[in-house]
Amino acid sequence: DAGVIQSPRHEVTEMGQEVTLRCKPISGHDYLFWYRQTMMRGLELLIYFNNNVPIDDSGMPEDRFSAKMPNASFSTLKIQPSEPRDSAVYFCASSFIYKGNTGELFFGEGSRLTVL
């Protein structure tokens, strides 16, 4: 398997523009996570899905952020409008339940977002 695939790897945009980040999880994994990583705040969970259904979106900073998972092989994280404080590395990860515990999280390589 190719692992978790994220695109784009790098995105530079201007404040106010819409940003869409994409993720293809590992086939067979039924959990998908979106994280944001910054030096100041570390790795923050934004939202996660189980079987394509959002389970917890309490980490989504505000209404400018939205995430969808229309099917088991694709998810998007959208920021509209983007602001400079959204600059961060955004990771997608997928996982499964193993012996009743959360299994290994497989992370993508991340999407580095810079909002000018």
Question: Which residues would be at the binding site for other proteins (CB under 8 A)?
Answer: 4, 31, 33, 42-43, 45, 48, 50, 55-56, 91, 93, 95, 97, 100-102, 104-105, 107-110
Closest distance to other proteins from the beta carbon of 42 (Å): 4
Closest distance to other proteins from the beta carbon of 67 (Å): 14
For other proteins, the closer CB: 15 or 97? 97
Q: Residue 92: which residues within 8 A CB-CB, separation 6 or more?
A: 4, 6, 21, 23, 25, 32, 33, 34, 35, 75, 77, 107, 108
For the beta sheet containing 65-71, the strands, ordered from the edge strand earlier in sequence to the opposite edge, are 5-7, 19-24, 74-79, 65-71
For other proteins, the closer CB: 79 or 108? 108
For other proteins, the closer CB: 10 or 85? 10
